[in-house]
Chains A and B, each alone.
Chain A
Amino acid sequence: MKNRTTVERKSERETVVTRTFNGPARIVFEAWTKPELFKKWWVPKSMGMTLVSCEMDVRTGGKYRLVFGQGMAFFGSYTEVTPHSRLVWTNEEGGDNGSVTTVTFEEKGGKTLLVVSELYPSKEALDAAGTGAADALVETFQQLDELLVTLGASVGRA
């Protein structure tokens, strides 16, 4: 049973991804905070990249560092760790233009609603980060996606 992933660009500086998981918050939180578990899913095989090391000191003020086989590193520190409900970390490899990621875990009836927000210091920083290829995207991707499907169908008929 697969749940739907939705993506929105909340503002010029922020993207938000939402997904429900079929398990309690403590389990989903564990998967985000134990390096041996995090390593299993953060880099999907389809990305063609491998995570060679994953160090995570998950507590307020603690640091993390992910190193990819291609020599790329992803690092920063945890600014807030609230077990089973909220994680906030900074991304420092971009210097002052680094983003802040906030992950919230909300349990309802044995399932967990996960919300991942990435906030950049400026629109330019988000755009530069590559996730911002769509500079002026302010509407929800979900709505846009539906529209594109409609349009794709009508263009195909023309």
Chain B
Amino acid sequence: MVQYANVGLDASFAALSDATRRGVLEQLGRAEASITDLAEKFNMTLTGMKKHVGVLERAGLVITEKVGRVRTCKIGPRRLEDEMAWLERYRQLWDARFDELDKVVEELKRKEQVDGRKKRE
């Protein structure tokens, strides 16, 4: 049994830093596929695809299973909750900060208009 808790965010973010690997995950999110299927779909050699799947597997994002002579891949048991939580916190901080900044900007704009009117009067 692999200890997914030890994998941490590093491995999954590294795994997700590649466009092909993100594509593979999206694909597997829709349906299971063999490495051969994936290699064809992404126009890649079998060896190349095996490497990508290996990275995803080590990050706990994909699991593979050998059925007869075919190795099938599917979305792994490790959900992306940690990653989502991390992104959400970071985004929330800046979003909240900037929402307040919006208010300050609006306030300053209003003040400029009022001052402008006063000067003209």
Contact = CB atoms under 8 A, between A and B. Distances in A.
A94 interface: no
Contacts of A139: 13, 16-17
Contacts of A47: 93, 96
B47 interface: no
A30 B9 CA distance: 38
B71 interface: no
Given A7-B94, A139-B13, 17 more contacts: A5-B91, A22-B102, A23-B105, A23-B109, A31-B104, A31-B108, A44-B97, A45-B100, A46-B92, A136-B10, A136-B13, A139-B17, A141-B87, A147-B25, A150-B29, A153-B29, A154-B75
Given A143-B22, A151-B29, A158 B92 contact: no
Contact of A31 (B11, B16, B101): B101
Interface in A103-149: 131, 133-139, 141, 143-145, 147-148
21 contacts: A3-B98, A7-B87, A7-B91, A23-B105, A27-B112, A30-B108, A31-B104, A41-B98, A41-B101, A44-B100, A45-B96, A134-B9, A135-B9, A137-B17, A139-B17, A144-B16, A144-B87, A145-B91, A150-B29, A152-B80, A154-B29
Contacts, number: 123
Contacts of B22: 143, 147
B79 interface: yes
A23 B90 contact: no
B103 interface: yes
A17 interface: yes
Nearest to B10: A135
